[in-house]
Structures are given as structure tokens and as C-alpha cells.
Amino acid sequence: MGPKRTYRERIRPQLEAYAGTCFERLCREALPRLYEREGVNAAFEIGEYWDKAVQIDVVGLRDDGWTDLAECKWGAVRSHSEVLAELRAKASHFPNGRGATIGVRLFLHRGTKVSLPSAQKDLARWHTLADLYA
């Protein structure tokens, strides 16, 4: 099998999934910098959450009574409201034993920021890949 065929048959079919996994890690590494930009002074831990029912790509547990849950989307997003609804459904499965306020974030590989109704602005934030490098 030559290099072109190897790329076409073995590497290319897995490339999007690999890039998506790398993007999730980048988003977890970027969250502390976003907290700094947002003026968050509380101590925090960053990770992810998995159980039998749900996977949450990024979890930010802050000592100020706030928890961020985030979804990372490397591929194209057809409906921002659909993705937000999906994330909110996942958030309902997150064990919030400490009773923290839950905020949700969406990290997008490409796209534009979404305008949210003012009632949702404090609880939902959107970030593009370009934002992470700004």
C-alpha cells in the first residue's frame, strides 16, 4: 500500500475524529485563560465528565459556586439553538451535589458568535477557535 492509498484509506477517515479530540483538549486548556479574561478570581478545577448516559467535554468547577459545562464542536454546526438544547439536556444529567449555578459554554471550531436573549447571556457563552487565540 502506497502513501496516497494509506492516507486515503487509513488516515483521512479518522482525521476529523482525531482533530475533534485535540480540540476538546485545547478547549480545556483555554478555559483558565477565559476565566482570567472574564475576571474570575475563584480557584477552579478543569476536567471532563463521563458516565453511562452522558459525556460533557469540558467541566470547570469553580470555588465561587459556579460550574461551567461545555460542548466542543469541531465539525460544522447546523443549528446553534439545537446544540444549546443538547448541551442543556446533558447538563441536566450532571451530578451537581454542591448546588452550584450551572453555566454552559459552546466551543466552535469555526463560525460566528451567537446573539443570545439577555436572560441567557449570563448562563450561556459561545467561543470560536479564533476567540481562544485572541
Dihedral of alpha carbons 111, 113, 117, 121, sign:
positive
The pTM assigned to this predicted structure is 0.84
* Domain parsing of the chain, residue ranges: 3-133
* Cell numbers linked to 104: 454552559
Domain 3-133 listed as CATH 1.20.950: no
Contact at 8 Å (CB) between 55 and 69? no
- 44-50 sheet: strands from edge to edge: 44-50, 55-62, 66-73, 101-108, 124-128
Give the pLDDT of residue 121: 47
Question: Rounded mean pLDDT of 50-68?
Answer: 96
Element (H, E) at 111: none
Round to whole Å and give the CA distance between 72 and 58.
8
What is the band of 119 on the pLDDT scale with cuts at 50, 70, 90? very low
Higher pLDDT, 114 or 79: 79
